[in-house]
């Protein structure tokens, strides 16, 4: 079978879904472009700063993408390409799209607060505290892991380290001229993209080689600064410019596949049980980004909601980003599916899923004249840029949630609500975990992340019901994701009876999920409707 059909048909399905189902959600939820968003009503020049739709799409897409939509589908290809492809398509449209758009919408209507605050309003303070603690601990693990991943990448590919440092300087210059000197976004984008290419060139000429521990310390210092600086000077411009790398990678892969027309060689379906890994639930835990991912809800209700210029942008930023990520996930599965089983195993063993993906895109790009080594290096560099983006976005999100938790402590001049204190505590704990065995509990991250998506869908469903709006589009995905994650946690507990740390985390997550389900059941039974906070404040 020709892989061109997979890609083209999937994109057509996503276009129809964006038009039909995206509009359905937009109308059913009563999205209103005439309402002022928190970015305007609470503008502070630091976190609440309105951004034009293309800029915010770039930030949101860069933050949620990371390496997730690439690593997950390639790792899940052991079950065959058909179940992975079906989950990407169905998941992106009916699970991830609803989850991401709903998280953004609920946050917008609650002063740009996190989903934990939304739970507090619709389910009570206990649900809010449990969700906030769970989300913060998950982000601590993400920061610890991504600090290691980025440091390892910089050691292995020092060209990426140089280019990434130059990207930061470029982003600061872009933000200053566009947001403070009134430079045109279009002209700035053209110059920025040219400079971006220059950074890649200079990175290849002047690679910076340092040890992993030195990079770890530099990265921890960077994310502290990046988390407390105004979004317009670094986060917005850097993510916007980085998104061009991702678009370039996507276009390169798309055009390469169209010209090369690689034939699918991987088995369509292999087995339900692969060396003890069961297709259900493990496929739905392994393929997170690219179908549905709890981390997206934290980004949508964290940094993105504070920068949304108009409610009309909710659909393109929330739902559209998820579908674009689905396209990236389909390209990732094609980079596996056209390989023989022997070559797939060899590439996977030599450098993991990123190596498989980079090799595939490098090969596809040769069809229109790009040298294989340049195409592969460009792909690896683009992925490392997104991992760095996800890293500092996760740090800022953890800071938001910590400040919200600290705000509940009734004390005059509570220092824990200070953004510097909140960031310092987050970075220190993440750094300690990053230097001391984050890998011990990393195997549970997939289940924890998907449990977070189930909790986010629960929060959205309860809030929509309390607001008197249609909520079944969130209810059914929520039930499925709870079934997936509770099943996965049961298997993890059974397989790790002698690993007390991992066992403890798995049991704690399982109990937490049950408590929140009970709280949600009470909230669903409660007939009391809640006020629309944002409109009430105007």
- Beta-bridged to residue 274, according to DSSP, are 277
Pairing outcome for strands 273-274 and 277-278: antiparallel
The contacts found for 431-438 with CB under 8 angstroms, 24 or more apart, are 431/144, 431/147, 431/216, 431/220, 433/140, 433/141, 433/144, 434/143, 434/144, 434/145, 434/147, 434/148, 434/216, 434/220, 435/213, 435/216, 438/141, 438/144, 438/145, 438/148
At 376 the pLDDT is 83
At 323 the pLDDT is 97
Query: Is 459 buried (19+), middle (13-18) or exposed (0-12) by CB count in 10 A?
Result: buried
**Rounded to an integer, what distance in angstroms lies between the CA atom of residue 318 and that of residue 323?**
9
At 538 the pLDDT is 40
At 437 the pLDDT is 66
Distance of CA 324 to the CA centre of its chain: 12
CA distances from 455 to 92, 189, 319, 353 (A): 17, 38, 19, 28
Residue 278 and residue 78 in contact, taking contact as beta carbons nearer than 8 Å: no
SS3 content of the chain, % helix, strand, coil (to 5): 80, 0, 20
At 125 the pLDDT is 85
- Local structure of residue 369 (DSSP, 8 states): T
Contacts of 410 (CB under 8 A, 6+ apart): none
pTM of the model: 0.90
Nearest-10 crossing angle of helices 372-407, 212-228: 50
**Rounded to an integer, what distance in angstroms lies between the CA atom of residue 464 and that of residue 462?**
6
**Rounded to an integer, what distance in angstroms lies between the CA atom of residue 146 and that of residue 394?**
9
CA proximity to 4, closest of 264, 329, 339? 264
Q: Helix and strand tally (H, E) in the chain?
A: 23, 2
**pLDDT per residue of the chain (538 residues) written in tens, 0 to 9:** 889 999 999 999 999 999 999 999 999 999 999 999 999 999 998 899 999 999 999 889 888 887 788 888 998 999 999 999 999 999 999 999 999 999 999 999 999 988 888 888 888 888 888 888 888 988 898 898 888 878 887 887 788 889 889 989 999 999 999 888 888 989 999 999 999 889 888 988 899 999 999 999 999 999 999 999 999 998 889 888 888 888 899 999 999 999 999 999 999 999 999 988 899 999 999 999 899 999 999 999 999 999 999 999 999 999 999 999 999 999 999 999 999 888 888 888 777 787 889 899 999 999 999 999 888 878 877 887 778 888 888 999 999 999 988 887 766 677 888 999 999 999 999 999 888 867 777 778 888 889 999 999 999 999 999 899 999 999 999 999 999 999 999 998 998 888 887 888 789 888 988 988 888 888 888 777 766 555 444 4
Distance of CA 519 to the CA centre of its chain: 27
């Amino acid at each position: 079978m020709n892989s061109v059909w997979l890609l083209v048909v999937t994109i057509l399905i996503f276009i129809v879904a964006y038009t039909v189902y995206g509009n359905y959600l937009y109308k059913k939820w009563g999205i209103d472009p005439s309402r002022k968003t928190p970015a305007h009503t609470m503008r502070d020049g630091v976190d609440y700063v309105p951004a034009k739709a293309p800029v915010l799409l770039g930030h949101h897409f860069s933050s949620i993408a990371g390496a997730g939509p690439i690593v997950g589908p390639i790792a899940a290809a052991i079950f065959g390409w058909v179940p992975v492809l079906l989950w990407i398509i169905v998941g992106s449209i009916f699970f991830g799209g609803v989850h991401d758009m709903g998280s953004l919408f609920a946050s917008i209507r609650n002063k740009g607060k996190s989903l934990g605050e939304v739970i507090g309003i619709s389910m009570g303070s206990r649900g809010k505290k449990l969700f906030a603690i769970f989300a913060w601990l998950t982000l601590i693990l993400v920061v610890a892991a991504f600090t290691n991943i980025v440091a390892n990448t910089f050691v292995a590919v020092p060209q990426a380290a140089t280019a990434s440092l130059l990207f930061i300087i470029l982003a600061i210059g872009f933000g200053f001229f566009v947001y403070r000197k009134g430079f045109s976004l279009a002209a700035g984008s053209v110059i920025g993209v040219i400079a971006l290419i220059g950074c890649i060139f200079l990175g290849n000429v002047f690679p910076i080689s340092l040890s992993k521990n030195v990079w770890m310390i530099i990265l921890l210092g960077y994310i502290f600064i990046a988390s407390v600086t105004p979004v317009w000077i670094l986060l917005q411009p850097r993510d916007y410019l980085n998104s061009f790398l991702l678009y370039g990678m996507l276009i390169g892969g798309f055009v390469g596949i169209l010209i090369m027309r690689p034939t699918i060689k991987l088995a369509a379906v292999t087995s339900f049980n692969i060396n003890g890994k069961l297709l259900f639930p493990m496929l739905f835990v392994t393929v997170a980004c690219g179908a549905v991912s709890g981390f997206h809800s934290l980004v949508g209700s964290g940094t993105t909601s504070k920068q949304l210029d108009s409610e009309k942008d909710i659909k393109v930023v929330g739902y559209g980003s998820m579908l674009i990520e689905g396209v990236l996930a389909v390209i990732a599965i094609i980079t596996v599916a056209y390989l023989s089983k022997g070559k797939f195993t060899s590439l996977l063993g030599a450098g993991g899923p990123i190596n498989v993906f980079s090799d595939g895109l490098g090969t596809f790009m040769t069809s229109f004249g790009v040298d294989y080594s340049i195409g592969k290096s460009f792909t690896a560099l683009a992925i490392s840029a997104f991992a760095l983006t996800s890293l500092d976005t996760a740090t800022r999100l953890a800071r938001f949630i910590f400040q919200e938790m600290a705000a509940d402590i009734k004390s005059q001049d509570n220092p824990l609500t200070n953004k510097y204190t909140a960031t310092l505590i987050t970075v220190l704990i993440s750094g300690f975990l990053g230097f001391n065995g984050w890998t011990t509990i990393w195997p549970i991250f997939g289940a924890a992340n998907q449990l977070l998506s189930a909790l986010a869908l629960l929060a959205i469903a309860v809030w929509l019901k309390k607001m008197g709006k249609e909520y079944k589009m969130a209810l059914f995905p929520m039930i499925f994701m709870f079934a997936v994650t509770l099943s996965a946690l049961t298997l993890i507990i059974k397989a790790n009876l002698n690993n007390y740390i991992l066992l403890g985390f798995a049991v704690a997550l399982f109990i937490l999920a049950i408590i929140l389900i009970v709280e949600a059941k009470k909230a669903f039974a409660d007939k009391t409707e809640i006020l629309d906070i944002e409109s009430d404040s105007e």
